[in-house]
Amino acid sequence: MTAANATVQNQLLREAAEWRLLSLLFECPSPAWREQVQALAAEVADADLKAAANVAQREAGEGLYHSIFGPGGPAPGREISYRDWTQPGYLLSELTSYYDAFAYQSKIVEAPDHISVETGFVAYLKLKEAYAESIGDTEHAAVTREAAQQFINDHLSTMTEPLARSLEHSGVEYLALAGKALLARVGPKRDQSSKQNLPVLSLDEDSEFACAEA
């Protein structure tokens, strides 16, 4: 591996850790959740993410989480809540096509369009890209990189800005910081009027490659 490839791979691993930490922060806290957040926070340099992870240790709780993301809460956590033209079945089918194309199997107990699942998918793609770079498979690295950006544009960009604004005023500091960090990566909401149907890059079964779990 060349020095340039090693630099690219290390950057991708850092980005994967940041996206995975975002995914965790948007999950409902579980008994092992704080330890996982703390461990990942040690691997990232982003100030907002580190602060969010630190505040979450004392602030996060299941009841608080559901009061924000649950029914009637100020910040819906599902993408379908931010779309005014898409049928739920269509959106879930499109997301499933994305996930299946890259063998993504989320262990998060949420709907496929939940913010924690979608950010977890981007983290997974970053890991797959890093793996492809490590073995010199530039074709798969490029396919995975393009798919990650397309997924961000087609899905996360729809919900990130309004979600971040709601979290900013939610009174929950760690979620406000997480929303801010996510918005910095995704950017403002995009116009979806020209969006094409099911824009998933297909992969032949023989060309799939595995990636060790983080």
Local confidence pLDDT in tens for the 214 residues of the chain:
566 677 888 999 999 999 999 999 999 999 899 999 999 999 999 999 999 999 999 999 999 999 999 988 999 999 999 988 768 899 999 999 999 999 999 999 999 999 999 999 999 999 999 999 999 999 999 999 999 999 999 999 999 999 999 999 999 999 999 999 999 999 998 765 444 443 444 444 444 444 444 4
Give the CATH architecture of domain 3-191: Orthogonal Bundle (1.10)
pTM of the model: 0.87
Q: How far apart are CA 81 and CA 39, in angstroms?
A: 32
Count the alpha carbons within 13 Å of 162 in the hemisphere toward its beta carbon.
17
Q: How far apart are CA 103 and CA 69, in angstroms?
A: 27
Encode 78-113: b = buried (16+ Cβ within 10 Å), e = exposed: bbbebbeebeeeebbebbeebbeebebebebebbbb
Q: How far is CA 84 from the centre of its chain?
A: 22
How crowded is residue 64: how many other Cβ atoms within 10 Å of its Cβ?
Answer: 17
Measured over the CA atoms of residue 164, residue 151, residue 129 and residue 8, the dihedral's sign is negative
Q: List the domain boundaries for the chain.
A: 3-191
pLDDT for the residue 1 = 59
